[in-house]
């Protein structure tokens, strides 16, 4: 694994009595996608704002490409891009006009700004729509255009804040493809998202934030492995659900979740339980099943397990 390009150590930030960050640590290797996950109010946005030089921490420090985000903010800004949750493009201008305008705002010479706009439009499949007003673009096309405005200066690190919010499945897939292209070219992406399947598909590593701290890190598969496989049971007779629940509770040491009138689901401990043994125990309890299956947990289930709050965030 390469040296980290994004490093945060002991970041703290408070807003009055609200402690947004309580000693956050983060390390992101170069050329990877890091997914930042956490409940609302967990500190994700505050962390991104500090890393992007938009806010200063009360304590701790952070570096982007070796530059301190407070003492060397100008150098950091030369190396990063930031795409917020909503597309920040001018609807009255064409797609090409938007990119040329951003190029000039980044102080590129006119000819270079025009050339870079054409390169990006072709690369991200917007050439045919390049000379149409952005107001007529679909939501997915606007998000793609917003994304590539951040790439005019070829940032080393790109911060994406919920980039596919409100998009249909096809448009989400197009954004995902664009992100993969960026990473293939060496850009490091820090992604915040409320869509757990998005992090599962895109992220090389995931950092789960809660109460202002990183509480778990790892690849999606590593995080799934921490809570073990899940057992899903479909009952032939919903009336046998109490008996089935008792069997599953004995096997797992925890009550199963009800997934429907005739369905139960439970996380199994990593003790080598065999499917045949589970079916035998259900049969002995007089429970007839239509289907029994073992599966890996979803990232949603991992997230809910890790962020099961015992107290409100303050």
Supply the DSSP string of the chain, one letter for each residue: -PPEEEEEEEEEEEETTEEEEEEEEEEEETT-EEEEE--TTSSHHHHHHHHTTSS--SEEEEEETTEETTTTHHHHHTTEEEE-SS----TTSBHHHHHHHHHHHTT--HHHHHHHHHHHHHHTT-STTTTSBGGGS-HHHHHHHHHHHTTTT--SEEEEESTTTT--HHHHHHHHHHHHHHHHTT-EEEEE-S-HHHHHHH-SEEEEEETTEEEEEE-HHHHHHTT--EEEEEES-GGGHHHHHHHHHHHHSSPPEEEETTEEEEEPPSS---HHHHHHHHHHTT--EEEEEEEPPPHHHHHHHHT--SS---
Per-residue pLDDT, averaged over 237-245, amounts to 91
- Report residue 101's pLDDT band, with 50, 70 and 90 as the boundaries: very high
pLDDT (average), residues 156-165: 89
pLDDT band with cut points at 50, 70 and 90 for residue 213: very high
Mean pLDDT value of segment 170-198: 88
Mean per-residue pLDDT, 184-212: 92
Looking at the fold, whether 274 and 167 belong to one and the same domain comes out as: no
pLDDT of residue 30: 94
Nearest to 303 by CA among 206, 161, 168: 206
190 and 251 share one domain: no
Q: What is the mean pLDDT of residues 152-173?
A: 86
Q: Are residues 69 and 187 in the same domain?
A: yes
pLDDT at 270: 61
For residue 75, give the CATH number of its domain: 3.40.50.300
* Number of domains the chain contains: 2
Between 257 and 287, whose confidence is greater?
287
Confidence of residue 256 (pLDDT cuts 50, 70, 90): low
Confidence of residue 267 (pLDDT cuts 50, 70, 90): confident
For the chain, what is the mean pLDDT? 88
pLDDT of residue 229: 82
Distance CA 173, CA 125 (A): 13
pLDDT class of 311 with cuts at 50, 70, 90:
very low
- Label residue 272 by pLDDT band (50, 70, 90): low
Extract the tokens encoding 153. Answer: 């200066």
- Residue 265's domain is classified under what CATH number? 3.30.70.100
Same domain, 206 and 289: no
Does a structural domain hold residue 290? yes
In a domain, 306, yes or no: no
What mean pLDDT is predicted for residues 78-105? Answer: 89
Query: Which tens digits make up the pLDDT trace of 109-152?
Result: 999 999 999 999 998 889 999 999 999 998 888 888 988 888 88
**Pair of tokens at residue 55:** 């806010």
Q: Which residues contact 246 (CB under 8 A, 6 or more apart)?
A: 285
Same domain, 217 and 235: no
Higher pLDDT, 33 or 256: 33
Residues 239 and 141 in one domain: no
Range of the domain at 241: 229-295
Mean pLDDT for the stretch of residues 156-170: 86
Last residue of a domain, one of 200, 221, 242: 221
249 shares a domain with 152 = no
Of 75, 117, 76, 124, the residue nearest 96 (C-alpha): 117
Regarding whether 107 and 240 lie in a shared domain, the answer is no
């Amino acid at each position: 694994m390469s040296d980290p390009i994004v490093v945060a150590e002991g970041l703290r930030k408070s807003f009055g009595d609200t402690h947004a960050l309580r000693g956050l640590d983060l390390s992101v290797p170069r050329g990877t996608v890091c997914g930042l996950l956490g409940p609302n109010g967990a500190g994700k946005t505050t962390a991104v704002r500090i890393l992007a030089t938009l806010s200063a921490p009360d304590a701790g420090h952070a570096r982007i490409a070796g530059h301190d985000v407070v003492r060397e903010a100008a150098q950091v800004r030369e190396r990063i891009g930031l795409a917020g949750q909503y597309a920040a493009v001018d609807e009255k201008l064409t797609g090409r006009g938007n990119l040329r305008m951003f190029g000039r705002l980044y102080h590129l010479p006119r000819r270079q700004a025009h050339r870079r706009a054409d390169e990006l439009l072709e690369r991200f499949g917007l050439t045919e729509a390049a000379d149409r007003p952005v107001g007529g673009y679909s939501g997915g096309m606007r998000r793609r255009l917003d994304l590539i405005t951040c790439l005019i200066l070829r940032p080393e690190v790109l911060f994406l804040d919920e980039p596919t919010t409100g998009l249909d499945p096809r448009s989400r897939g197009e954004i995902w493809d664009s992100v993969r292209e960026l990473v293939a070219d060496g850009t490091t992406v820090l992604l915040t998202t409320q869509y757990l399947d998005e992090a599962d598909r895109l992220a090389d590593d995931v950092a789960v934030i809660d109460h202002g701290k990183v509480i778990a890190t790892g690849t999606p598969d590593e995080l799934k492995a921490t809570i073990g496989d899940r057992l899903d049971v479909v009952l032939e007779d919903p009336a046998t659900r109490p008996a089935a629940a008792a069997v599953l509770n004995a096997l797992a040491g925890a009550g199963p979740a009800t997934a429907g009138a005739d369905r139960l689901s439970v996380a199994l401990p990593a003790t080598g339980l065999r499917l045949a043994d589970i079916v035998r125990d259900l049969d002995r309890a007089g429970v007839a099943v239509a289907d029994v299956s073992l599966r890996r947990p979803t990232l949603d289930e991992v997230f809910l397990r890790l962020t099961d709050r015992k107290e409100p965030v303050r």
